[in-house]
Amino acid sequence: MTGLRKSWVDSANDPETDFPLNNLPYGVFSTEGTGPRCGVAIGDMILDVAALETNGILSAGDPPVFSDPSWNAFMGLGPEGWAGFRGALMALLSQGSTLRQRVEPFLHPMDEARMHMPFAVSEYTDFYAGKHHATNVGTMFRGPKNALPPNWLHIPIGYNGRASSVVVSGTDVRRPWGQLKGPDMEAPVFAPCKRFDLELEMGAIVGVASDGPVTVQEADDMIFGYVLLNDWSARDIQAWEYQPLGPFQAKATATSISPWIVTKAALEPFRASTPEREKELLPHLREPGPMLYDIDLMVTLAPARQAPSVIAETNYRQMYYSAAQQLAHHTTSGCPMRVGDLLGSGTISGPEKAERGSLLELSWGGKEPLTLDTGEERSFLEDGDTLTLLGAAKGAGYRIGFGACAGTVLPALTDPYSR
């Protein structure tokens, strides 16, 4: 496995930084008095690539691709363009670069920047592709013998979500209203959600369009990069609405993503295989090689004005289906995929209780409340709670991190229809 690549940006050589030269993730940032523009994380700094393009120091293509505060135009260059640009960035930022004096003025301290959505989400699809999560949830509601639906071991199950509600880390999330009906209620009521939850996921970003079915290998080639993703979920709204067509308003409140797109190239040394199949997959879903990644994941929960507690730790290797398999399956009907499409992995849980990626699982449907380091208990999220997802692939003397994916729960509106 490749070791740490040295940069003239000193902070990028710290083995604990999320953003060494090996990483170079893509985001959109602004500083005081300036508008959003495309940047690249390097150590504790952000390199303004839009300004580099304007000043003729670095070009990704002709016409320019960084005139808008979004990485979509760059994604449209395709894998060859992605590789060329990454190589040029490496050369600019590597230790001993002759262009250091020209580039250094375009570095900005990360702690003085505000992060924005790194790309415009074209469409959003969320999957249910973690076997431990699906087994836990199915066991709660249908018993262990019927935990997995009959189709689950044959296809990655998913639903079409709302691209309009995908938000960048740091965006507050307001507790939703919806129809609720408990088992002892004669009729539903319209009220604020009482069982608000998180879901620890990874998001895969499509960088190459398609207009027909693609193979798993072709799907992998289409993926531009990955983000951390929190699929905020209103469990009580979901319980009433999901029959017969699945999640709808329960998943439409918000989906938070980390601000940095970690490229597939940066993750290449961390390839990992999906688990052994219990049922042989049909040929169009079989993987030609390892297509998951060894990425350690963590969830923390901080009550209002209190220190965070680690509530879950797991790894992206726990997924039963890779993003490439999900994307390939998505295209089987001829469904067009577009640059900027976002695919949620589904909740990532491991076999042990401490590895469960949702409060629904951690509290076993509310029957076993979780005790935080502060002594407080949680079955589901309370107002003021801040959820933070963290993730990193760990190499020899370096890490490929994603930055934080965080959001704070705000109280529900007093009256959502007051005008």
124: region left, alpha or beta (phi > 0 left; psi from -120 to 50 alpha): beta
Using alpha carbons, list the distances in angstroms from residue 146 to 131, 140, 151, 275. Answer: 13, 10, 12, 21
Strand partners, 292: 272
Query: What is the spatial distance between Cα 187 and Cα 274, in angstroms, rounded to a whole number?
Result: 44
Q: Which amino acid is at 296?
A: D
Q: What is the largest CA-CA distance in the chain?
A: 74
Left (φ > 0), alpha (ψ -120 to 50) or beta: where does 375 sit?
left
CA 36 → CA 2, 23, 32, 70, distances in Å?
33, 22, 10, 9
- Asked if residues 157 and 127 have their Cβ atoms less than 8 Å apart, the reply is yes
CA distance 107 to 104: 6
Residue 204 neighbours by CB under 8 Å, 6+ apart: 223, 225, 226, 323, 326, 327, 342, 343, 345
- Which residue from 346, 337, 345 is spatially nearest to 121, judged by alpha carbons? 337
Amino acid in the structure at residue 46:
I
**3-class DSSP state for residue 344?**
strand
| Alpha carbon distance 267, 53 (integer Å) | 26
Q: Are 328 and 334 in contact (CB under 8 A)?
A: no
Active site residues: 133
What are the structure tokens assigned to 343, written together?
């695919």
